[in-house]
């Protein structure tokens, strides 16, 4: 990029210099030539008048006229010829054509009364043919041919060109220097960003960059630092997740090992004790199994919305089915399950995942309830969304924990959650399913009074929205 920037800047700054040089020199040369041609024309007119006035063709006063002609010819580094009516060359300042006949094109035309002006570029000569006419212009007595060299004009232009070359070279040097400096100013911050990206790729998320200069560059630096901050958060959460997973998976295994070891160490263990320990081991294995299943479900949910198996689902039927399945568990603690529907709703969603999400909410309503309490599920919709509320009369969630309960492995009361077979992954799974459907979830809760989870899902699935967004509520 730096090279291209330098080349572009040099091109933009230097090409006008060369174009200007060409145009200006051409212009100067043309102007000098026109001026010279006018001078020659004036002199030819004066000479013509002198010839008429002095009766030159009759042979009078020729010496004075010739002396004048020679002086002018040498002044313009040229040649002057006087031709009479019979096309005879009366005087040639070079002295080589005297007495000879000239029937050149210009002579014939000038003899007809026309003045001819011409620039012969090959020879570098200005050529002029002027008629020698009587005062009343009624008769042409002869012709003056005037040839003048433009070598002095060309020399003048060359010397102007040379001084221009000096200035141009200095300007070109300056342009190259400036282009390098500008290219450096522009590419340096980008280089630093590239280096920081490399460092980031190596796993260093804590090295912010602080670029100074144009506001656009500051914006890049701010955006980059913001991205670094986000990556750092993701990395922290990943590490926390990994350590949580290992801890959660280890706990049942440690219990199993303790139970098995204590059996192994005792001799002649009674059958009943064996059975009791074995039952405890089975409970721990079930728990391990539950954690692994929940983890697998969560990993599946981390994929993009493109993985959803979307179909038209009757939401009323789906919710009723969930409540029917959970009724026996609720009945154990004498908890009443109520379904209230304000309208019949059909929506485009992944039925299996949606069932899992609402099952988790209703299960929690039962788990974190008081004996003899209730869980009420209500369904409503407008033209765009359907809304499901899962309310319970349970223990509630203290305000300060309400934001965290959707995080993986987060539990307000670990002991209670463990007792009821909770893994701390249920709400994380629920939230992911809802976000995959471009929906939202929020919780309203008061300690010892109960909790209400409110879910909003679009009726029409928006596949192009893609991915899971970080929207929480
Ligand atoms: P768990 O497997 O522990 O139930 P969840 O992710 O489903 O995990 O819930 C996280 C935590 O949020 C629970 O441990 C519990 O403390 C709290 N919680 C969830 N739902 C409710 C509810 N309806 N009432 C009170 N607390 C709840």
State pLDDT tens for residues 101-137.
988 999 999 999 999 999 998 988 999 999 999 888 8
3-state secondary structure of 432: helix
Q: Which of 82, 92, 85 is nearest to 113 (CA)?
A: 85
Q: Where in the chain is the domain with CATH 3.30.450.20?
A: 2-156
Q: Which two tokens stand for residue 29?
A: 């040369």
Q: Which atom of ligand 1 is nearest to the CA of 411?
A: 14
For 215-299, CATH gives 1.10.287.130
Residues having CB closer than 6 A to ligand 1 are: 360, 364-365, 368, 392, 394-397, 405, 410-413, 417, 422-428, 451
CA 424, 425, 428: angle at the middle one, nearest 5?
120
Separation of CA 350 and ligand 1 centre (Å): 24
d(CA 80, CA 102): 13
Q: How does pLDDT run across 211-254, given as a tens digit for each residue?
A: 777 777 788 888 888 898 888 888 887 888 888 888 889 989 99
Give the CATH class of 305-472.
Answer: alpha beta
Residue whose CB lies within 8 A of the most ligand 1 atoms, among 251, 297, 361, 364, for a mutation test? 364
Q: Which atom of ligand 1 is nearest to the CA of 395?
A: 25
CA 235, 236, 242: angle at the middle one, nearest 5?
90
Residue whose CB lies within 8 A of the most ligand 1 atoms, among 426, 430, 455, for a mutation test? 426
Q: Which of 242, 244, 189 is nearest to 218 (CA)?
A: 189
Q: Where in the chain is the domain with CATH 1.10.287.130?
A: 215-299
Secondary structure letter of residue 143 according to DSSP: E
Residue whose CB lies within 8 A of the most ligand 1 atoms, among 361, 368, 413, for a mutation test? 368
Q: How does pLDDT run across 361-408, given as a tens digit for each residue?
A: 999 999 999 999 999 999 999 999 999 999 999 999 999 999 999 998
pTM summary value = 0.58
Separation of CA 368 and ligand 1 centre (Å): 7
Separation of CA 361 and ligand 1 centre (Å): 9
d(CA 237, CA 231): 10
Do you know the residue count of the chain?
Answer: 473
Q: Where in the chain is the domain with CATH 3.30.565.10?
A: 305-472
Q: Which residues, in sequence order, are bridge partners of residue 344?
A: none
Distances (CA, A) of 466 to 300, 305, 461: 15, 5, 10
**Topology of the domain comprising 2-156:** Beta-Lactamase (3.30.450)
Rg of the chain taking only CA atoms, in angstroms: 52
């Amino acid at each position: 990029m730096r090279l291209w920037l330098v080349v572009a800047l040099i091109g933009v700054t230097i090409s006008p210099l060369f174009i200007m040089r060409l145009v200006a020199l051409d212009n100067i040369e043309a102007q000098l030539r026109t001026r010279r041609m006018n001078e020659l024309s004036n002199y030819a007119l004066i000479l013509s008048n002198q010839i008429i006035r002095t009766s030159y063709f009759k042979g009078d006063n020729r010496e004075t006229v010739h002396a004048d002609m020679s002086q002018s010819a040498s002044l313009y580094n040229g040649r002057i010829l006087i031709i009479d009516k019979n096309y005879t060359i009366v005087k040639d300042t070079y002295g080589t054509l005297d007495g000879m006949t000239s029937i050149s094109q210009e002579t014939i035309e000038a003899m007809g009364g026309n003045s001819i002006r011409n620039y012969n570029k090959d020879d570098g000569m200005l050529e002029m043919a002027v008629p020698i006419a009587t005062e009343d212009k009624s008769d042409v007595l002869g012709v003056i041919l005037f040839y003048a060299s433009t070598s002095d004009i060309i020399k003048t232009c060359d010397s102007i060109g040379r001084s221009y070359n000096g200035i141009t070279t200095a300007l070109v040097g300056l342009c190259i220097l400036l282009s390098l400096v500008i290219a450096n100013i522009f590419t340096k911050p980008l280089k630093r960003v590239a280096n920081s990206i490399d460092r980031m790729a190596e796993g260093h998320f804590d090295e912010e960059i602080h670029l100074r200069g144009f506001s656009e560059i500051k914006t890049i630096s701010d955006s980059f630092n913001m991205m670094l901050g986000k990556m750092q958060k993701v990395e922290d959460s990943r590490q926390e997740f990994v350590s949580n997973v290992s801890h959660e998976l280890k706990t049942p295994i440690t219990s199993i090992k303790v139970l098995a070891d204590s059996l192994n160490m005792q001799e002649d263990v009674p059958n009943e004790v064996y059975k009791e320990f074995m039952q405890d081991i089975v409970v721990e294995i079930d728990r391990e199994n539950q954690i692994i299943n929940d983890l697998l479900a969560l990993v599946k949910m981390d994929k993009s919305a493109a993985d959803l198996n979307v179909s038209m689902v009757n939401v009323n039927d789906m919710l009723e089915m969930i409540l029917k399945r959970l009724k026996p568990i609720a009945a154990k603690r004498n908890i009443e399950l109520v379904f209230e529907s304000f309208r019949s709703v059909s929506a485009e969603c992944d039925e299996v995942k949606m069932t899992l999400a609402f099952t988790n909410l209703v299960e929690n309503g039962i788990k974190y309830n008081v004996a003899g309490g209730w869980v009420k599920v209500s369904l409503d919709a407008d033209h765009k969304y359907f809304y499901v509320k899962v309310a319970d009369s349970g223990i509630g969630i203290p305000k300060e924990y309400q934001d965290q309960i959707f995080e993986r492995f987060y539990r307000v009361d670990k002991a209670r959650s463990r007792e009821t077979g909770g893994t701390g992954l249920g709400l994380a799974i629920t939230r992911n399913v809802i976000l995959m459907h471009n929906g939202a979830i929020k919780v309203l809760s008061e300690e010892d009074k109960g909790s209400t989870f409110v879910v909003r899902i679009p009726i029409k699935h928006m596949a192009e929205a893609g991915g899971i967004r970080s929207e929480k509520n």
